[in-house]
Amino acid sequence: MQKEEFTGLCGEFAFLKNHELTRAILPIVESHLAKHNQEKLPVVWIETNDSGDNNISFMNTTYPYLGRVFTDMIDLLYSNTFMAAQGREALGILDQVAETYKGKFTLVVEGAIPKRENGLYNIIARTENRLITALEAVSWLGQRAEYVVAAGTCASFGGPSAARPNITGSVGVREVLDREVINVSGCPVNPDWFVGTLAHLLMYGRPELDNLGRPTLFYGFTVHRHCQRRSYFDNNDFAQKLGDIECMFSLGCMGPRTRADCPYRQWINYVSWPVKANTPCIGCTNEDFPDGSMPFFTPMPEKEKTGGSGREKIKPTEGCKE
């Protein structure tokens, strides 16, 4: 399959055959590997300062399920979440992988990186002689990886882990590494966004990125653009309370300034997403989430007056036509 066809598949397939992107991707990957006599994508996955929601979301990928992704698409060389090895054995594997696959593996980081106290607020390993912080591990591995993928908003931009008052000094991976980071944001990340990005790296290399380092395959347009309630917005017909069928912009929906394809990608086995479940989009893929979305369920002009971060001053309807 040509790169242009794959791009169309990721961007438009959700409108067509029941949204099942991963089901469509894996046969393409298998054919690509066989045709080019290529190995699976080598991956080192480090979980740092987060809630673990991104790997849980990834495990919820369906049609086919998680096992097929591992066996047919990626070679998971190390993961402090998924691997069976522990202690010295796990660290030995990590050392070996970092040298054997230097310049060839994709580093996936899940979670923000605490920098205060030299990273002491997040320890991923302990030896007889010292503590290994997430800051040290990600800095070391990031220099050796071919690609770095930040999975989730915490890894991408700091996210909830870096929300005020941010006592751990947590930051996104891009603030730690002096190199390009592919940010697959979301709280949590949609499994299609993550699997689709890894598939692109495997077959075509670096995907096209937006100004925040996110693949335009999935973050090319605002939530507002394809929202099922868009017609209500266009007619200035706004909900008065949660549960109303009209546009929820008046209830604090962040869709007009949030880039993601949630309206047609959907979640939970492709059956729903927040607005469909009668709750406003809270902008979880945004660079300033959650501070820039607070207080939730409050219209955007009032957010700045009652607790919004003010880091990104915008007009209420900015981006609504995208």
Domains of the chain: 3-219 (3.40.50.700), 221-322 (4.10.480.10)
21-35 vs 191-204: helix crossing angle, rounded to 10 = 20
pTM of the predicted structure, to 2 decimals? 0.91
Q: Which of 253, 81, 54, 221 is nearest to 154 (CA)?
A: 54
Contact 72, 107 (CB under 8 A): no
- So what's the pLDDT on residue 13? 54
Contact 247, 237 (CB under 8 A): yes
- So what's the pLDDT on residue 112? 97
Residue with tokens 């066989």: 34
Measured between alpha carbons, how far is 296 from 280 in angstroms, rounded to an integer?
Answer: 9
Measured between alpha carbons, how far is 122 from 124 in angstroms, rounded to an integer?
Answer: 6
Residues 6+ apart with CB under 8 A from 303: 252, 292, 293, 294, 295
Q: In the chain, what is the straight-line distance between the N-terminal and C-terminal CA atoms, in Å?
A: 29
SS3 147: strand
Half-sphere exposure of 266 (CA within 13 A, CB side): 17
Dihedral, CA of residue 49, residue 43, residue 216 and residue 259, to nearest 10 = -20
Each residue's pLDDT, cut to its tens digit, for the chain (322 residues) gives 778 878 877 875 555 555 567 778 888 899 999 999 999 999 999 999 988 889 999 988 877 788 889 999 999 999 988 998 888 899 999 999 999 999 999 999 999 999 999 999 999 988 888 899 999 999 999 999 999 999 999 999 999 999 999 999 999 999 999 999 999 999 999 999 999 999 999 999 999 999 999 999 999 999 999 999 999 999 999 999 999 999 999 999 999 999 999 998 888 888 899 999 999 999 999 999 999 999 999 887 777 666 554 434 444 444 454 5
- So what's the pLDDT on residue 232? 96
Max CA-CA distance within the chain? 66
- So what's the pLDDT on residue 19? 54
- So what's the pLDDT on residue 233? 95
